[in-house]
């Protein structure tokens, strides 16, 4: 099967709403992915809902507010925000726009999203991990956010690939959802080659034979979201 590949540059307008790069229309089995900016002095939506968020900050810095408590966040942070927590992100870091991706379980889109302005939450704190503090060397996927952090629907890993590296061609019953942070590589799905690069959101369907490869150039880095059952 063919992968779905969408670059945010083709779907996001500066100053506009979040771009839903992987949406219900793409038939994702587990989660959706959107790309957005938060302008200086502004915030993300202030809301509370039963499902969790996983958010990655590509650029910028600011403050994540969960049930009234403030947590500094910056580029490279992967955030797990539990369900039933009142939350929003404020861009007060003085580093320009916050650029970020947000991953939600299907329930979020199927229910029409959170239509509220916050409320009383459980007080459960978020989990925040910065890639600079983790092993992001080329090789196998490195875990970032896992079930140990409370992830109930999907996990997050980081993958780096150096020149000359090829991942084994493989097939499995679950999908991959990926977002490319840096560089580019060749993704081969069922024998067809696709070039994927910075800014691409990628959905590889279940039961699709696939491999990643890179012949030259600097290290490529991307995030991979997998269902917990994988």
Q: State the average pLDDT over residues 72-76.
A: 98
- Please give the share of the chain, as a percent, with pLDDT higher than 70: 100
Domain with CATH 2.60.120.10 in the chain: 9-114+124-132, 134-227
Q: How confident is the model at residue 64 (pLDDT cuts 50, 70, 90)?
A: very high
Share of the chain above pLDDT 90, in %: 83
Lowest mean pLDDT among 7-16, 43-52, 115-124, 130-139: 115-124
Residue 140 confidence (pLDDT): 80
Q: Rounded to an integer, what distance in angstroms lies between the CA atom of residue 39 and that of residue 171?
A: 41
pLDDT of the residue at 114: 77
- When pLDDT is cut at 50, 70 and 90, the band that residue 138 belongs to is confident
Q: What pLDDT, on a 0 to 100 scale, did the predictor assign at position 215?
A: 84
Q: Give the pLDDT of residue 168.
A: 86
Report pLDDT for 111.
86
Does 9-114+124-132 carry CATH code 2.60.120.10?
yes
pLDDT at residue 95 in the model: 79
Residue 210 pLDDT > 90, yes or no? yes
- Per residue in 100-112, pLDDT (tens digit) is 999 999 998 998 8
pLDDT at 192 over 90: yes
Q: What is the pLDDT of residue 230?
A: 83
Mean pLDDT for all residues in the chain:
94
pLDDT at residue 85 in the model: 96
Compute the average pLDDT of residues 59-79: 97
CATH no. of 134-227: 2.60.120.10
Confidence of residue 120 (pLDDT cuts 50, 70, 90): confident
Contact 48, 116 (CB under 8 A): yes
Structure confidence at residue 116 (pLDDT): 80
d(CA 148, CA 50): 19
Q: How confident is the model at residue 179 (pLDDT cuts 50, 70, 90)?
A: very high
Higher pLDDT, 201 or 118: 201
| CB 79 within 8 Å of CB 54 | yes
Encode the chain in three state secondary structure: CCCEEEEHHHCCCCCCCCEEEECHHHCCCCEEEEEEEECCCCECCCECCCCCEEEEEEECEEEEEECCEEEEEECCEEEEECCCCCEEEECCCCCCCEEEEEEEEHHHHHCCCCCCCCCCCCCCCCEEEEHHHCCCCCCCCEEEECHHHCCCCEEEEEEEECCCCECCCECCCCCEEEEEEECEEEEEECCEEEEEECCEEEEECCCCCEEEECCCCCCEEEEEEEECCC
pLDDT confidence of residue 128: 98
């Amino acid at each position: 099967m063919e992968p779905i590949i969408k670059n945010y540059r083709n779907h996001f307008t500066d100053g506009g709403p979040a771009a839903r790069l992987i949406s219900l229309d793409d038939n994702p089995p587990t989660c959706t992915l959107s790309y957005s900016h938060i302008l200086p002095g502004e915030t993300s939506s202030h809301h509370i809902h039963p499902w969790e968020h996983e958010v990655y900050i590509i650029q910028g810095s600011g403050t994540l507010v969960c049930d009234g408590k403030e947590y500094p966040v910056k580029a490279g942070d992967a955030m797990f925000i539990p369900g039933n927590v009142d939350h929003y992100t404020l861009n007060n870091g003085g580093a320009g726009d916050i650029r970020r991706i947000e991953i939600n379980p299907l329930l979020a889109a199927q229910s029409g999203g959170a239509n509220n302005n916050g409320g009383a939450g459980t007080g459960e704190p978020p989990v925040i991990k910065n890639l600079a503090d983790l092993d992001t060397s080329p090789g196998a996927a490195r875990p970032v956010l896992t079930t140990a952090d409370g992830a109930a629907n999907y996990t997050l890993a980081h993958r780096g690939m150096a020149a000359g590296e090829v991942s084994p061609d493989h097939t499995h019953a679950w999908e991959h959802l990926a977002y490319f942070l840096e560089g580019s590589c060749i993704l081969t799905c069922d024998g067809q080659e696709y070039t994927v690069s910075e800014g691409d959101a990628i959905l590889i369907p279940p039961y699709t034979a696939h491999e990643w490869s890179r012949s030259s150039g600097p290290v490529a880095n991307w995030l991979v979201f997998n269902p917990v059952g994988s």
